[in-house]
Amino acid sequence: MTSTSGRGWRGRARDDPSLSEILYVLQRRRLLVVGVVLVLAGIALLFGIFREPVYTAEAKVSVRPQEELDGEEAMLAFLEEVRGAVVTQEMLSEVRRRAGWEA
């Protein structure tokens, strides 16, 4: 391949900047780069804070006594025993803390 200008194929002007040129431009515009990064980080933070939660969970526990309970008083005692075994004060405190219900 021959060139009419006599400079050959290497004589063309480059269209793509080198890495050092890109870094030089970024360094000269570092205030702009830092500003853009801070603005985008702020937008992401606000989005994360004010966005509704995507996932919520609910659980139901079905418990049956091993033996037949006689009367309502025995049933209430059984339910209280189950509630005491399943729902501890530490667990309730942790749930309140994670949900943000405690200051």
Average of per-residue pLDDT across 59-63: 76
Dihedral angle computed from the Cα positions of residues 79, 60, 97 and 90, in that order, rounded to the nearest 10 degrees: 40
Residue in the structure block whose two tokens are 């209430």? 76
93: CB partners within 8 A, 6+ apart: 102
Each domain of the chain, given as residue ranges in start order, spans 17-50, 57-103
Look at residue 29 in the predicted model and tell me its pLDDT. 93
- pLDDT, tens digit (0-9, with 9 covering 90-100), for 68-97: 878 888 888 888 888 877 778 888 788 778
14, 18, 85 from 10: Cα distances, Å = 9, 16, 81
Average pLDDT in the chain: 81
> Does pTM surpass 0.85?
no
Residue 103 pLDDT more than 70? Answer: no
Whether the pLDDT of residue 31 is over 70: the answer is: yes
More confident call, 37 vs 62: 37
Distance CA 47, CA 19 (A): 34
Tell whether the model's pLDDT for residue 36 goes beyond 90: yes
Question: In the predicted model, is pLDDT for residue 41 greater than 80?
Answer: yes
* DSSP-derived secondary structure letter, 14: P
